[in-house]
Amino acid sequence: MTTQLHGAYSIPVEAIDVSDPQLYQDDTWYPYFERLRRDAPVHWCRESRYGPYWSVCKYKDIMQVEVNHQTYSSELGGIQIENPPDEFVVSNFIRVDPPKHDEQRKVVSPIVAPANLAEMEATIRERTIRVLEGLPRNETFDWVERVSIELTTMMLATLFDFPWEERRKLTYWSDVAIANVNAPDAPVHSHAERFEELRKMAERMGELYDERAKQPPKFDLLSMLAHGPATQNMPLREFMGNLALLIVGGNDTTRNSMTGGLWTLSQHPHEYQKLRDNPALITSLVPEIIRYVTPVIHMRRTATQDTELGGQQVRAGDKVVMWYVSGNRDPDAIEDPDNFIIDRPRPRQHLSFGFGIHRCVGNRLAELQLRVLWEELLPRHPVIEVLAPPRRTYSNFIHGMRSMPVRIPLH
Ligand code: HEM
């Protein structure tokens, strides 16, 4: 950390490039954003592997971008700092502007609305208990593999009523969709390969959709889409794009909050003890984990016109990157932001779910899964030893954790 602190403060501020995925894999991004918030909160990086871009680092400036979708488009250049090659773009509502965004979001959002989630809670709980009771004792195992991936995959399989024995395909497709194709351990190594794998996903989902359309309506995502008057006629490509969005949106982010939560608690033993002493704190623990972990590192917009942001002149066509990792550590918006405090008075004040018209549609589902996990985990396994830090993903977009060795003591 000392070297990194040094690096972040010893180079000219113009030379800082926070798009380097290495910063997130090594978990050394923090001092760079501290410096940017202090010296150049809306910062122009002239040269990077993704071309020039603006970094928006303060909470209030990020909010300004989020709420002004007329000036900051998701459609012009997509939502990641890296422009995907045009021929491989899959259309879905996270990367389009109104009116299309609003129409499509309206179709999907009732499925993850609180009333429906209440119906799913019992299934989520029963499956969570099964996973937790199957964990080994006094033996090192990978928390990511045995718990985080298993639970989020089961959740997705439940949501789609996807064939149980094929459920790991959902995990694989989600990994493929967000992979940095330049990372050595990525599941695909080119945009073409990614597109081909996602095409296979579309094919399998299409088969299931057709089956559900012929059966009487049931309570799952595919059946609801197949029978809903507003969605029956959605063009196939768009329909598939939106399914992919739900798979990705709901998978990695929640998975990494499950790993990041345990890791962070293990680094803050006093907070962990506070939680054991008072499990009612799970209600504020969950949003605090989501803030602290910040599973989505950034979202990108493209300026549709010349405008001013934080005293800087943004030009039409510029890339504007909202760094949620930085906004969530902004002391002007969140008190004592670098500390992990499980009983914060306003724990939901964070940017991890974004804001404005694209604010995460699955936020309640994510919170529900995390709440159930901690409610069932604490009485069964109050002590979990984390044996090494998580191995992190090479990505500037998703704060991924690939493995984390843990052990549950016998008593
Ligand atoms: C802790 C877990 C999660 C985090 C941190 C997260 C984060 C985000 C963020 C940052 C955005 C973009 C917000 C913006 O641009 O302002 C987003 C959008 C979205 N998320 Fe999540 N998400 C999570 C869980 C989920 C789950 C469980 C689902 C689905 C079941 C989901 C589905 C979506 C969808 C469909 C969108 C697009 C919304 C739109 O464009 O209108 N997410 N999420």
The set of residues, in sequence order, having a beta carbon less than 8 Å from that of 136 and lying 6+ positions away, is 408
Q: What is the pLDDT of residue 127?
A: 92
Q: How far apart are CA 391 and CA 402, in angstroms?
A: 5
Does residue 320 carry a pLDDT above 90?
yes
Amino acid type, 25: Q
Nearest to 258 by CA among 410, 146, 123: 146
Which of 22-31, 129-138, 184-193, 285-294 is least confident? 184-193
Closest among 204, 192, 208 to 85, alpha carbons compared: 192
Q: Quick check: CB of 281 below 6 Å from ligand 1?
A: no
Give the pLDDT of residue 90: 64
Whether residue 2 is predicted with pLDDT greater than 50 in this model: the reply is no
Q: How far is it, in rounded angstroms, from Cα 181 to Cα 202?
A: 20
pLDDT at 257 over 90: yes
φ and ψ at 343, to 5 degrees? -120, 45
Mean pLDDT score, 241-261? 87
Count helices and strands (H / E) in the chain.
16, 12
**Mean pLDDT score of the chain:** 91
Per-residue pLDDT averaged across 97-125, rounded?
Answer: 85
H-helix segments, 161-281 = 168-178, 191-214, 221-227, 236-267, 269-277
**Alpha carbon of 270 to ligand 1 centroid (Å):** 31
Which of 78-92, 208-222, 328-342 comes out lowest in average pLDDT?
78-92
Dmax over CA atoms of the chain, in Å, equals 65
Strands of 26-152 (E only): list them: 42-45, 53-56, 72-73, 140-142
Measured by CA distance, the residue closest to atom 17 of ligand 1 is 360
For ligand 1, is residue 366 a contact (CB within 6 Å)? Answer: yes
Given the CA of residue 365, which atom of ligand 1 is nearest to it? 27
User: For ligand 1, atom 1, which residue shows the shortest CA distance?
Assistant: 254
**CA 46/CA 377 separation, integer angstroms:** 47
pTM above 0.75, yes or no: yes
Q: Is the CB of 244 under 6 A from ligand 1?
A: no
**Closest ligand 1 atom to Cα of 370:** 1
Q: Is the CB of 78 under 6 A from ligand 1?
A: no
Pocket perturbation via mutation, ligand 1, pick of 151, 254, 353, 372 by most ligand atoms within 8 A of CB:
353
* Residue minimizing CA distance to atom 20 of ligand 1: 360
Say what the pLDDT of residue 198 is: 82
Can you tell me whether residue 222 is helix, strand or coil?
helix
Range with the lowest mean pLDDT among 2-6, 32-36, 254-258, 368-372?
A: 2-6
Distance CA(255)–CA(243), nearest Å, equals 18
Answer yes or no: is the C-beta of 253 below 6 A from any ligand 1 atom: yes
Ligand 1 pocket, 361 CB below 6 A?
yes
Written as six digits, the tokens of 40 are 């150049």
CB-ligand 1 contact for 260 (6 Å cutoff): no
**Between these two residues, 225 and 133, which has the higher pLDDT value?**
133
DSSP state of 31: H
Q: Is cis: bond before 99, omega within 30 of 0?
A: yes
List the single range of 17-26, 222-231, 296-305, 340-349 with lowest mean pLDDT.
222-231
The Cα–Cα gap between 159 and 157 comes to 6
- Residues across the chain: 411
Domains of the chain (ranges; CATH) run: 2-407 (1.10.630.10)
Whether residue 322 contacts residue 66, with contact meaning beta carbons closer than 8 Å, is answered with yes
Bridge-partner residues for 307, per DSSP? 314
Backbone angles phi, psi at 402, to 5 degrees: -90, -30
Alpha carbon distance 16, 309 (integer Å): 19
- CB of 334 closer than 6 angstroms to any ligand 1 atom: no
Q: What is the pLDDT of residue 88?
A: 61
Given this model, what pLDDT does residue 334 score?
98
pLDDT in tens, 329-346: 999 999 999 999 999 999
Retrieve residue 56's tokens. Answer: 């928006």
Atom 36 of ligand 1, nearest CA residue: 360
Q: In the block, which residue shows the tokens 């009333």?
A: 115
As a whole number, mean pLDDT of residues 308-312 equals 97
> How much distance in Å is there from the Cα of 251 to the middle of ligand 1?
10
Spatial contact of 358 and 78, defined as CB atoms under 8 Å apart: no
The sign of the torsion formed by the CA atoms of 367, 368, 370, 371 equals: positive
pLDDT value, residue 133: 97
Q: Which residues contact 314 (CB under 8 A, 6 or more apart)?
A: 54, 303, 306, 307, 308, 320
What does the angle CA 246 – CA 198 – CA 357 come to, to the nearest 5 degrees?
A: 30
Distance 362 CA to ligand 1 centre (A): 6
DSSP 98: T
Q: Which residues pair with 302 in a beta bridge?
A: 73, 319
pLDDT in tens, 344-375: 999 999 999 999 999 999 999 999 999 999 99
Of 393, 351, 347, nearest in space to 371 by CA: 347
Query: Do residues 362 and 354 lie in contact, with contact meaning Cβ atoms separated by under 8 Å?
Result: no
